[in-house]
Amino acid sequence: MIFGYSLSDLWSIFVMQSFSGLSLFSVLLLMALGLTIIFGQMGVVNLAHGEFMAMGAYTVYLCSTIVQRHCPSLTPYYFLVAIVLAFCVCSLFGLLVEWSLIRFLYKRPLDSLLATWGLSLILQQSFRSIFGAREVTPVLPNWLMGAFNVTSTIQLPINGVFVMGLTLVLTLGIWFFLYHSRIGLNMRATVENRVMSGAAGINTKLVDRFTFSLGCGIAGVAGAAFTTIGSTGPDSGSRYIVDSFLVVVFGGMTRLVGTIVSAFGIAQGQSIAQFFMEGTMGKVMILLVVVVILMIRPKGLFASKIRS
């Protein structure tokens, strides 16, 4: 008997906490992916990234409200459309933000940090003014409710499975896109050597704009996925932003693998710790562990040795 639970109980707890940890992992991973793309590729720290996530969530909520008001019969089908819409809305808005603000801030990480914090304040207040200060939830389609009963003591919620599946698809998609497509190649080339890329005929400004809006679009999808596991309020974004950045920094920022492992570790750590310690203390412990590890190994888990 440990902590007053039997071994088999512990196992069930472990599996279920791991699973809820996986949902958190999905959100963190999606956020971190977007951030890595933006920071790792463009040297821009986007503290408003959380607000793009919230924007995706609010888009789904809006879709839900419209569907409920005008054609409730479409409820089972609207959700997937809403996710796509969330991506589009967020990437378009990202495009606007890049054009008006971000493009002046390349390679100025500290400045972009401050400016995007300002942006996040403005966005948060906009959400508050438009949607109200209370948290909202979209009406989820029936097929997302309920749980799989894997064994008698282990139940896996369907929405969690959905979120994970979505994350998997998206991560694979991004990896494929970055490493096996023409545009992805252009993006990576621009990051490596902007001047050369420009000389080779790549329109670096356009690539930057595209990169940023892609990052924001991914955040939008993260937000849409997030609506299945939690409610959305004006400051939902800021709740995850520090964690997401820690995931990015912890993962080493150079390889996708690093980000994935890092997000997994941090999410699972938090989830399991939160079961055994009261609410926030679990999170505190994990964050502390991450920060201490970062102090010992500042480049993160997977940084490679490059010649300066």
Q: Give the footprint of other proteins on this chain (CB under 8 A).
A: 39, 43, 45, 101, 104-105, 107-115, 117-125, 128-129, 238, 242, 245-246, 249, 278-281, 283-284, 287-288, 290-291, 294-296, 298, 304-307
In sequence order, what are the residues at sequence separation of 6 or more whose Cβ sits closer than 8 angstroms to the Cβ of residue 146? 157, 158
Least spacing, CB of residue 15 vs other proteins, in Å = 26
Q: Could you give the CA distance from residue 22 to residue 161 in angstroms, rounded to a whole number? A: 9
Residue 78 or residue 127: which is nearer to other proteins going by CB?
A: 127
Closest CA to 56 of 30, 23, 76: 30
Which of left, alpha, beta for 202 (phi over 0: left; psi -120 to 50: alpha)?
Answer: beta
Residue 1 or residue 306: which is nearer to other proteins going by CB?
A: 306
Least spacing, CB of residue 78 vs other proteins, in Å = 31
Residue 55 or residue 115: which is nearer to other proteins going by CB?
A: 115
Least spacing, CB of residue 124 vs other proteins, in Å = 7
Residue 145 or residue 242: which is nearer to other proteins going by CB?
A: 242
Least spacing, CB of residue 301 vs other proteins, in Å = 14
Residue 24 or residue 246: which is nearer to other proteins going by CB?
A: 246
The count of C-alpha atoms lying within 13 angstroms of the C-alpha of 306, restricted to the half-sphere facing its C-beta, is 8
Residue 125 or residue 153: which is nearer to other proteins going by CB?
A: 125
The neighbouring-strand residues paired with 232 are 136
* Strand ranges inside 23-101, DSSP E: none
Least spacing, CB of residue 283 vs other proteins, in Å = 6
* Strand ranges inside 154-290, DSSP E: 155-157
User: In angstroms, how far is CA 57 from the centroid of its own chain?
Assistant: 12
Q: Could you give the CA distance from residue 198 to residue 188 in angstroms, rounded to a whole number? A: 13
Decide if 33 contacts 49 (C-beta within 8 A): no
Label residue 149 exposed, middle or buried (CB < 10 Å: 0-12, 13-18, 19+).
exposed
Least spacing, CB of residue 105 vs other proteins, in Å = 7
